Structure 1
Amino acid sequence: MDTRTIRRTSVILPALNEPGLYLSHVTSLEGGRGRLAEFHYADADLRDLDLADTHLLGGRITGLKTQRARLERLRCDSVEFAYCDPASLRWSDSKVSRTVFRDCKFMGATLENVTFDNVLFESCRIDYSTFARVRAVGPVIFSKCTLRETAFAACDLGAALIDGCDLRLTEFDGGKYRGLDLRGNDLSQLRGLASLKQIVIDRAQKLQLAEALTTELDVTFGEDLDDK
């Protein structure tokens, strides 16, 4: 069983290299009776992708590009996404398990009411996106991703770890984050610090949080007033 481990957090990876497993090349993600298994969907360039009430089980999706993508009530089990760029992505009411997103672009995406369990985001661009009511019921890792100006609203990410990511103006607005591991990041430009109770950081990051809080509270330093 392949895993990816950073500090105390381990994600179980998709089981796609099992002996005897053959992934069939497919030209569509719409399987019979709403189920697609043991597949490889590659290099599609679509204007629109609308996928609903579908179960993706044991497969790879590589090089997928869209101008608009809508995913609803989608279940992903043991799936690998690589080098995908689904523009204008709206993903809702879904569950994602044992899934990897590697070198993908989710610029300006909206994920709402999506449940994660053993999910890895690696070297992805997720800037200007919104995660609304997203829950991590199992381990989730964001590794070497950019999350600039991304908003986490009313999420439950206590089982998540964010490591080596760009968190400039990343905002947390309500939710549950007890146990969220933020070590290994620059926290000096975070927003919504009041939501981040009982997170895990290194002692050296206390100054970064202080800087972020000073900016968020729009503090005026007395020395600056005295110099005027």
Structure 2
Amino acid sequence: MSSLKLDAPKIPKELPVITLQEGKFEPEDSFHTGIISDCIIDNQSAYKVAFDKVIFRNVTFTRIAMKEIEFTDVIFDRCDLSNVDFTEATIHRTEFRNCKIIGMDLTGSTLRNILFQDCLGDFATFRMANLKQITFHTCSLNNSDFYEATLQKLQFEVCQLEQAQFTGTKLDGIDLSTCEFTSLGVSIEDLRGCIISRGQASVFVSLFGIKLKE
């Protein structure tokens, strides 16, 4: 498991059930201390909705555009967040466990102390996001987009990163040595200080049109 120290979500052991009323979320709605499970949240569009000390378990999000959403001390357990629009979100002390986050859009978001564990996140977007104290552990992030993102104390552990986009993102201190990929979108300047394995060296050589002589 991750060697990076993360602040875990601060959630009470006993939680009441939160029942979401039919209808639409309203701007600046807030939900505190409870569990939302075994349901579908569908066709919602609102901004600055906040969730604090909440567990989502086996919840499917469909047709969701909730910009500037806030999650603090939240756990997503076996949820499907594919293609949700969470642009400019603020997310603190949150865990995504065994979730589908395919195409999730977190453009311009701020993430702190986040664990992505065993998630399917192909085509997820973190463009121009600010990520600090983040662990991606055994996640599929093929074709994900970290264009011009700010990465601090971030770990990719045993992840799939085929054709992930890192253009404009400084990878100094980022360890990719346990990840699998044959192609990345990245510049030589961005790679300075990046940690890779010996086996990955040939991948980067080919990326920049250099030929190795046997």
TM-score (norm 1): 0.81
Q: CA deviation at 1:188?
A: 4.2
Task: Note if 1:107 corresponds to 2:85.
Answer: no
Task: Note if 1:98 corresponds to 2:93.
Answer: yes
2:206 equivalent in structure 1: 215
Q: CA deviation at 1:60?
A: 0.5
**Aligned-partner residue type, residue 91 of structure 2:** V
Identify which range, 102-111 or 175-184, moves more after superposition: 175-184
CA distance in 2, matches of 1:32, 1:71: 9
TM-score (norm 2): 0.86
**Aligned-partner residue type, residue 181 of structure 1:** D
Distance 1:217 1:176, change over 3 A: closer
The match for 1:160 among 154, 157, 175 is 154
CA distance in 2, matches of 1:17, 1:118: 18
Runs of 4+ aligned structure 1 residues displaced above 6 Å come to none
Aligned residues: 211
CA distance in 1, matches of 2:41, 2:48: 20
**Aligned-partner residue type, residue 166 of structure 2:** F
Q: Which has the larger radius of gyration?
A: 1
Distance 1:44 1:189, change over 3 A: same
2:145 equivalent in structure 1: 151
1:122 equivalent in structure 2: 117
Distance 1:143 1:193, change over 3 A: farther
Distance 1:88 1:214, change over 3 A: same
Q: CA deviation at 1:182?
A: 2.5
SS at match of 1:61: strand
Task: Note if 1:71 corresponds to 2:63.
Answer: no
For structure 1, which runs of at least 5 residues remain unmatched after alignment?
A: 224-228
More strand by share: 1
- Give the root-mean-square deviation of aligned CA atoms: 2.5
Task: Note if 1:200 corresponds to 2:195.
Answer: yes
**Aligned-partner residue type, residue 18 of structure 2:** H
Task: Note if 1:171 corresponds to 2:162.
Answer: no
1:226 equivalent in structure 2: none
The match for 2:55 among 51, 60, 73 is 60
More helix by share: 1
CA distance in 2, matches of 1:58, 1:40: 9
CA distance in 2, matches of 1:75, 1:207: 40
CA distance in 2, matches of 1:221, 1:159: 33
Distance 1:48 1:200, change over 3 A: same
Q: CA deviation at 1:31?
A: 8.2
Q: Percent identity?
A: 20
SS at match of 1:175: coil
CA distance in 1, matches of 2:48, 2:5: 29
**Aligned-partner residue type, residue 164 of structure 1:** V
1:25 equivalent in structure 2: 18
CA distance in 2, matches of 1:152, 1:190: 11
SS at match of 1:149: coil
